[in-house]
Structure 1
Amino acid sequence: MKTITRKSLDNSIKDGAAYSAMLGLTQDYVTPFALALKASVPQIGILSALPNLSVAFSQLFAPFLSERAKSRKSFVFKAVLLQAVCFLPAFIMPVLFRDFGVWWLILWYTLGTMFGSLGNPAWSSLMADLVPGSIRGRFFGYRGMIAGIMTLAFSLASGLLLQISTDTLFLGFGLIFFGASLARFISSFFLNKMEDPQAKAPVKDGVSMKALVMDLNKTPMGKFISYSALINFSTYIAAPFFAVYMLRELGFDYLTYIIIISSASVANFVFMKVWGRVCDICGNVKILKLCSIFVPVVPLLWIFSHNIYYLIGVQVLSGIIWAGFLLSGTNYIFESSNRRNRMRGFALYTGGNSLGIALGALTGGFLVSILPQLNGYHMLSLFLVSVIARAIVVSLFINGIKEMKLKENPIPQAFISAYKLDLLALKIKIISQSIFQLPRIFRQPLRSGIVIRIFQLIIRF
């Protein structure tokens, strides 16, 4: 690998770490900030929906704008700077004008989200040129692991800050939003140090956005984009309201809330590197299908108990499943798009996901006011609706996603039998035999390489 490319990848990891610090400071605290501003449940739905609608809309123009910029890197850099600036008024304006505080928050958070998303297609195209295909899964798995650690660390720090600043709550939120802005500026610094192998994308090259949209059901990439958008729609019927359920209906304090939320981040970064290696060896579609089976299970488990330790376990499962789903899905877009169409492909992918998220959040905000209670809570009925919607999407569409390339690297049986079976292997055996009726190989020892073989066997269905 060229030295200049290696330096760019190192800077990309640092950029991702700073970006993830911003996410850790904001993604789980925008809703609590809105609740502190006395937001209603429909306003929470709008807070989730409107930024994603703006993202979906912006992706229609993002390839056009980035192709006419000086370079992909310069375009992404400017978009990131604009996002960093928006975090400060997103806090200041709601505090100064409390009567319309929630709406000011929605406005500035929407603008920041839109600016940040404008650079996504160009960034994805840039990374596709920088990261060799043979290590793509491992690189993004490692980058995702580092990002997960940063997200968790800053999310925990935010939760602790709010917990100790109960009497001066808005000061705590102010520090969080200032930190998010600073982290995004740091992210832009490392982003600007990266190399752009293709300084300027050809303006009239590739397939138009209109043609890609018209062929959604005809190409592997199009079928996956449709599937991903529907998964996001069914997921976000419930996703924006878990915070409302915990903070308002269950009455959890901020520390309890962040411990539960962060448990998913822990599982995410622990398994991200494992998923990356498994994707490289087994293929992305098999991992995507495996994780899709469990996507409807996560909200279903919330219905049975609100015990804190139980919910932590549910979130750990959620982190594992979504880490594999998102990593394999992103890798699949890289594989199923060629260089000429990749920027538009990622724009369509981001736009489709954002549109699904927005419509899901609006649907959830509407349904929660008319659904009956389940186990004493309206939110649990909403979670059940999300379970049903996810299950329908998975059952109808997952088999339409086809592998673009197949990688196999079986582990020798002699190596497998060299060590004792540990508790993790036993748990995997119990779960996998009940679902997939795996062979007796799991009575044999487990080491890091065996994990790969286990996943290879699980996904052969």
Structure 2
Amino acid sequence: MKYSMDIIKRNERLSIWNGAASIISQSFMMGFIPLFAIQVLGASNFQVGLISSMPSFMTMLAMIPGAIWINRLELKKAFTGYSIFAARFGLFLISLIPFIPYTNQAWILVVFIGLLNFPNALATLSWQSFIGDLIPDERRGKFFSERSQILTIVGMITTFITGALLNIFDKTDPSPYQWIFLIGFLFGIVEVYYLLRHIEVKKVEKKQSGISWKMVSGIFKHKPYLSFLICAIIFNFGWQMAWPLFNIYQINDAHATAFWISVFTVANQISQILSYKWWGRFSDRYGNTMMLFVASVGIGTAPFLTILSTNLYYLTLVNLWTGAFVAGTVMLLFNQLLRVSPEENRTTFLANYNFLIALMGCIAPQVGVWLLELYGIQSAMTFSSVIRWLGAFSFLIVVYIEFNSKRKQKALKKPSVSV
């Protein structure tokens, strides 16, 4: 059953409120967990790398059972809501870590990060499938660019205020972190509330009973999806391997405080806000894949530019520069994933993508930390830039192949002239 325009617009409004609560909750975790781990719990480089890898590892474990469960669901809203609640409950658990009498509490954090990311992976997969059903293809570009812009503003304000407040306290004091994690959990409840208010209609077609080998093998025969998948894997490896390196460099080398971490994030988000509509407009004109090339080239400059200086004002400018490309990359990867995933068996296509990207996310941060230990931060960050650029040019190759394919199809359709 197709949704009426009134229902679509209602769901879009609710999705924005749901996303706003989500971004507040996630800003507390994603923005300040590394600082909490290093300065409060005394985490080592290896443990910081694990904090980046554990979400991806748990995503891998969640994808297969998650896809089976979601494929069997006639309605996805409740499952998504329960998964989100379980994931946000992890923030409450993290707030309790300083009370646990254990000498190396950083390991407890690593375990908790892993636990909360199992339901988080299920929530991500089910939300992607859920929202893909609710928002028609022709509205996705405009809607997701506007939604992302609003959510980035919310995240920016949240991060800046939180960073400024944390800066008032001693950097080794756990209590302010405990409060922000607890507040993040409460916003997770608000997130679930708005998600459950979406209107979802049962599909007429017969629900799928599970994932068969024929279904999985068919995924890799779908050429648009396969091409996108290969490019995304290469790019994500280079992208994710530097995630722990940025935290280590900013905190240990540049000696950034909570305030400066929030300044970096805000600078990054300001340029995201200003560029979302630009990416949406140009992707409509030139295509998602071509603009993914542009965005990923820009993302590739981030590690290389970062290591040129430890000056905090300079690092703020670097984040201002790269934020625009982060906006394009995140939005275009998701839009292109939905575009190349057929509506039939979409959950299976999404699960396969999330599984393989999670595999990269599990391996890449450890490779980044390994290179850091062997060759130092300069070499590790430079290698990340190189891999990101390889991924970028793989998108360009796909554009070239698609262009040649369309040109040949036009030539074949051209009527021949008889004499």
TM-score, normalised relative to structure 1 = 0.81
**Distance in 1 of aligned mates of 2:135 and 2:181:** 32
**1:328-353 deviations in whole A, cap 9, x for unaligned?**
12111221122112111222222222
Aligned to 1:312: 316
1:213 is displaced (CA, Å) by: 5.8
Indicate whether 1:9 and 2:12 are aligned.
yes
Q: Is the 8 A contact 1:303 1:383 kept in 2?
A: yes
Instruction: Please identify, of 231-240 and 392-401, the stretch whose mean Cα deviation from structure 2 is larger.
Output: 392-401
8 A Cα contact 2:290 2:396, kept in partner: no
More helix by share: 2
AA at the equivalent of 1:11: L
**Partner in structure 1 of residue 79 of structure 2:** 75
Q: Which residue is 1:341 aligned to?
A: 345
Q: Which residue of 2 aligns with 1:52?
A: 56
Tell whether the 8 Å contact from 2:41 to 2:104 is kept in structure 1 after alignment. no
Matched residue, 1:19: 22
1:164 aligns with 2:168: yes
Q: CA deviation at 1:291?
A: 1.4
Contact 2:81–2:192, Cα closer than 8 Å, also in 1: yes
Q: How does 1:268-287 map to 2 (within 5 A)?
A: 268-287=272-291
Where does structure 2 lack aligned partners over 5 or more consecutive residues? 404-419
Choose 206-215 or 84-93, whichever is displaced more: 206-215
1:37 to 2:41 alignment: yes
Q: Does the 8 Å CA contact 1:120/1:347 hold for their aligned counterparts?
A: no
For each residue in 1:92-150, what CA deviation from the matched residue of structure 2 results, as whole angstroms up to 9, or x when unmatched? 13542341311111111222122112022322222222223222111000110111111
Deviation, 1:272, is: 1.5
8 Å CA contact 2:289, 2:395 repeated in 1: no
- After TM superposition, give the deviation of residue 293 of structure 1 in Å: 2.4
Tell me which residue corresponds to 1:326: 330
Which of 365, 379, 382 aligns to 1:381? It is: 379
Match of 2:31 in 1: 28
Q: Deviations over 1:260-280 (max 9, x none)?
A: 232111211221233223323
Of 182-191 and 207-216, deviating more is 207-216
Distance between the aligned counterparts of 2:190 and 2:336, measured in 1? Answer: 29
What is the correspondence of 1:225-304 to structure 2 with a 5 Å cutoff? 225-304=229-308
Shift of 1:40: 0.5
Q: Is the 8 A contact 1:232 1:353 kept in 2?
A: yes
Residues 216, 269 of structure 1: CA spacing in aligned structure 2 closer, same or farther, 3 A cutoff? farther
CA offset digits 1:278-314 (Å, max 9, x no partner): 3233321221122122232221111222222322221
Matching of residues 168-183 of structure 1 within 5 Å:
169-183=173-187
Q: Which has the higher contact order (CA 8 A, sep 6+)?
A: 2
8 Å Cα contact 2:7/2:199 also seen in 1: yes
Cα deviation per residue 1:32-61 (whole Å; 9 max; x = unaligned)?
Answer: 111120110011111111221111221122
**Do the aligned residues in 2 keep the contact of 1:79 with 1:115 (CA within 8 Å)?**
yes
Amino acid at match of 1:395: F
Normalising to structure 2: TM-score of the pair? 0.88
Contact 2:265 2:319 (8 Å CA) reproduced: yes
Matching residue within 398, 401, 405 for 1:400: 398
1:174 is displaced (CA, Å) by 0.4
Alignment CA distance shift 1:4-1:395 (3 Å): closer
Check conservation: 1:59, 1:347, Cα contact below 8 A: yes
8 Å Cα contact 1:72-1:199 kept in structure 2: no
Report the residue type matching 1:139 in the other structure.
F
Counterpart residue type for residue 22 of structure 2: Y
Q: What is the Cα deviation at residue 11 of structure 1?
A: 0.5
Distance 1:197 1:281 in 2: 33
**Alignment counterpart, residue 198 of structure 1, candidates 193, 199, 202:** 202
RMSD, matched Cα: 2.4
Which letter does structure 1 place at the counterpart of 2:388? R
Which residues of 2 match residues 411-450 of structure 1 at below 5 A? Answer: none
Question: Once the two structures are aligned, what percentage of the paired residues are identical?
Answer: 22
Q: Residue 106 of structure 2 is aligned with which of 98, 102, 108?
A: 102
Structure 1's unaligned 5+ residue stretches are: 372-377, 406-461
Conserved? CA contact 1:76–1:118, under 8 Å: yes
Q: What is the distance in 1 between the residues matched to 2:126 and 2:402? A: 23
| Alpha-carbon distance change, 392 to 318 in structure 1, aligned in 2, over 3 angstroms | same
Distance 1:134 1:15, change over 3 A: same
Equivalent pair of 1:226/1:352 in contact (CA under 8 Å):
no
Deviates more, 1:125-134 or 1:51-60: 125-134
Letter in 2 for 1:103: W
Task: Verify the 8 A CA contact 1:94 1:100 in the aligned structure 2.
Answer: no
Mean CA deviation greater in 197-206 or 301-310? 197-206
In 2 relative to 1, CA 216–402 (structure 1 residues): closer, same or farther, beyond 3 Å? farther
> Could you tell which deviates more after superposition, 202-211 or 325-334?
202-211
Whole-angstrom CA distance in 1 between matches of 2:400 and 2:114: 35
Q: 1:395 to 1:283 in 2, by over 3 A?
A: closer
State the AA in 1 paired with 2:387: A
CA distance in 2, matches of 1:10, 1:197: 17
Letter in 1 for 2:29: T
The number of residues matched between the two structures is 399
CA distance in structure 2 between the aligned counterparts of 1:366 and 1:203, rounded to whole angstroms: 45
Is contact 1:42–1:365 with CA below 8 Å preserved after alignment? yes
